[in-house]
Amino acid sequence: MLKIEGLNVYSDNKKILENINLEFEYGKLYLIFGPNGSGKTTLAKAILNDESLKKEGKIFLDNVDITNERTENIAKYTYYSFQDPVEIENIRTRTLLMYILDNFDEKKILSLGKDLGLPEDFLDRGVNYNLSGGEKKRFSLLLSILLNRKVIILDEIDSGVDIEFLNKLKYYLYQFKKENKIVILISHNFKFVKELDIDKVIVLIDGKVKYVGDKNILNKIEEYGFKVF
């Protein structure tokens, strides 16, 4: 279980998150929802112990306090897909994957890349270099599959992509659940998330948790907006 207790988060001395108390169980899919600037991405980065943030409170994984663990250590069991993945022109994707994967199976990786709609030569390009926004999302999903972490956080991976990729994404979200991972999706895509079998919706507004419960709340938000809170 991933457990967050009394978490306050600050960026440049401004409080972004206030008194966050949440639990995430293995084998479940969670949706973090809320308007722009509500702190959704900050919460994800706080879990990874982003050094640009100041934190109060505690974060536990499997009863181990990871609040102040080094980000590179947390990344050994947690995968986070950035909203806007960086481009690294001078490091080939092949080189990166050979470094971070325990088993670099090029045939398997190329097959998976093709299935996800990545260019045939993506391994020979710089990391995310000259990829479209949608292709970067495809590469993020590929990494989430290959790295096989027990906690997966996908930040707006469903934006700016076509229906074919959304179907692939839906398949792998369910696959991650079957593999007993903690799956956290941050999204604004009403149409897509309403189709998902979500175990719990978490609504963040102005840095505070306003709702934790089933997905029926999405219908109310779609009709009335976030003023329902």
Residues in the chain where the model's pLDDT stays below 50: none
In order of their start, the domains of the chain are 2-87+152-228 (3.40.50.300)
Backbone phi, psi, residue 159, to 5°: -100, 145
Compute φ and ψ for 145, nearest 5 degrees. Answer: -75, -50
Burial class of 164 by CB neighbour count within 10 A (0 to 12, 13 to 18, 19+):
exposed
Question: How confident is the model at residue 206, as a pLDDT?
Answer: 97
Residues 6+ apart with CB under 8 A from 150: 26, 77, 78, 180, 181, 182
pLDDT at 46: 98
